[in-house]
């Protein structure tokens, strides 16, 4: 039985070492998992921040896009107005780019002054009158032409200004759209990283569960082996105690019988030895 006890104790010690080693391994894995979870949370937070920035940049790009479209609509309307004025000017009887009405009027006044102050032949006067009449016919169209030209110059200047504004707005829109694209790509990369981290975490959690199960099994084995060793040890002690008590009982019985014989001898007047006297004392006969 001693061999069985020793084997069980050795088994208990081995299982205890296995349990402690496995628990240390589980503790290391758990610590690493805590770090992984922290990194995962940080990665997800960075992905959310990238999404926030992306959405803000997209909103800004959309606002600049709408402003640019509004200006481009204005430019389109101005170009349509330019086309209408050009068409009107082209359809006038006088050739496009007709005379300046102020200069034309001054020329008419000069001819009329000559007509009134100088002695002209009948033929010359008739020719001059005809020329003045033709010039007066041109006057309304020339005036309208100049008005159209002035309007077109104003429209062109407005279109140039609006075009510059539209260009600046496009540049701002593209700048914000570019940042939004960068943040979107960053978010996708971070989400992919987080997904891989989650997969790794799941694998490690599974491994941690298996290690803890192994530690629990080793602990249960240790408790069982230690308990069995103690039960055997207790049985051995009980057996030893029983044997000792049986021997003592047997010895007491022998001494009792011996003391009866010695006592009878003593009562018969025989002389007792020192050893016999000791037996009587031990049994309480003296």
| DSSP class per residue in 78-124 | HHHHHHHHHHHHHTSSSPSS---HHHHHHHHHHHHHHHHHS---HHH
Q: Give Cα 79 to chain centroid, integer Å.
A: 49
Number of H helices, E strands in the chain: 4, 0
Put simply, whether the predicted model's pTM sits higher than 0.85 gets the answer no
**pLDDT recorded at residue 172:** 95
CATH class of 2-93+152-243: mainly alpha
Per the prediction, the chain carries an average pLDDT of 77
Token pair for 171: 């540049």
Average pLDDT score over residue span 229-250: 66
- Contact between 263 and 277 (Cβ < 8 Å): no
In the chain, where the domains are located: 2-93+152-243
**pLDDT recorded at residue 97:** 44
Residue 95's pLDDT band, with cuts at 50, 70 and 90, is very low
Residues 259, 260, 266: CA angle, nearest 5 degrees:
85
């Amino acid at each position: 039985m001693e061999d069985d006890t020793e084997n069980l104790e050795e088994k208990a010690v081995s299982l205890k070492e296995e349990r402690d080693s496995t628990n240390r391994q589980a503790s290391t894995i758990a610590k690493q998992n805590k770090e992984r979870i922290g990194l995962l949370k940080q990665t997800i937070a960075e992905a959310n921040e990238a999404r926030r920035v992306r959405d803000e940049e997209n909103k800004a790009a959309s606002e600049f896009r709408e402003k640019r479209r509004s200006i481009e609509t204005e430019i389109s309307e101005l170009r349509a107005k330019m086309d209408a004025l050009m068409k009107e000017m082209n359809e006038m009887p006088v050739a496009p780019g007709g005379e300046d009405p102020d200069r034309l009027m001054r020329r008419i006044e000069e001819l009329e002054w000559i007509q009134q102050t100088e002695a002209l032949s009948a033929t010359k006067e008739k020719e001059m009158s005809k020329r003045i009449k033709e010039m007066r016919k041109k006057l309304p169209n020339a005036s309208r032409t100049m008005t159209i030209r002035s309007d077109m110059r104003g429209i062109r200047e407005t279109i140039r200004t609006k075009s510059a504004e539209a260009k600046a707005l496009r540049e701002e829109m593209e700048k914000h759209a570019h940042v939004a694209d960068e943040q979107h790509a960053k978010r996708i990369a971070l989400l992919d990283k987080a997904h891989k981290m989650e997969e790794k975490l799941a694998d490690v959690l599974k491994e941690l569960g298996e290690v803890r199960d192994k530690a629990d099994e080793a602990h249960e084995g240790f408790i069982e082996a230690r308990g069995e060793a103690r039960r055997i040890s207790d049985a051995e002690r009980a057996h030893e105690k029983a044997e000792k008590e049986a021997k003592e009982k047997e010895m007491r019985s022998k001494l009792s019988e011996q003391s009866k014989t010695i006592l009878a001898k003593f009562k018969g007047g025989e002389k007792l030895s020192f050893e016999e006297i000791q037996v009587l004392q031990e049994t309480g006969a003296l």
